[in-house]
Amino acid sequence: MNEAVARAREFAVAAHGEQKYGEQPYSVHLDAVVELLAPFGEQAQVVGYLHDVVEDTSVSLEAVRREFGDRVAACVTIVTDEPGANRRERKAKTNAKLTAVSGEDALALVVKAADRLSNLRASARGGSDSKLGMYRREHPAFHEAAYRPGLCDELWAEMNRILNAGQGATPDPVV
């Protein structure tokens, strides 16, 4: 792990403190996301470690900007869920934001896909049918907002395999 990625991990783990991911320390989720991002480079991994700090901790976006720069802060802004009265409202607002992403900010879409895939893997591994059902219901809108052909197709293909498993559907190799 290079210095920038290690610094982002240290920052994120400290920020998340005692927060749990299911029964495990939150670092388990962060490490899983960053492992998926390894083929996409150092900056993707840095954003991967920081993807939930503004949304789930007291860390401000300005603190992320000071520590990691404007581009990382811009990507963290994109992946951070918008406020809302409930999950449905938050996801609708966030998906609207994702729809507008282009150019170099598309790195945030790769991170968002890796985060979703990590959550799907954990839900499938843990046998959480209710979570998988929630992700299945959300997937069409999420896909429409965040998918860009050729950006990270392998992540989307695995998402589709997990979401289609046990549904009587043949996984669609085309995302």
CATH number at residue 51: 1.10.3210.10
- Domain limits at 61? 3-164
The residue assigned the tokens 């843990």 is 126
Run of H or E including 34: helix 27-37
174 in a structural domain: no
Within a domain: 169: no
- By the 8 A CB rule, do 136 and 163 touch? yes
How confident is the prediction along the chain (175 residues), in pLDDT tens digits per residue? 899 999 999 999 999 999 999 899 999 999 999 999 999 999 999 999 999 999 999 999 999 999 999 999 999 999 999 999 999 999 999 999 999 999 999 999 999 999 999 999 999 988 778 889 999 999 999 999 999 999 999 999 999 999 998 665 444 444 4
Could you tell me which residues come within 8 angstroms of residue 71 by beta carbon, excluding any fewer than 6 positions away?
Answer: 43, 104, 107
pTM of this prediction? 0.93
Please give the single-letter amino acid code of residue 77.
Answer: T
Q: Are 64 and 72 in contact (CB under 8 A)?
A: yes
Work out how many domains the chain is built from and give that number: 1
For the stretch 16-30, pLDDT in tens is 999 999 899 999 999
Q: Hey, which residues does 98 pair with through a beta bridge?
A: none
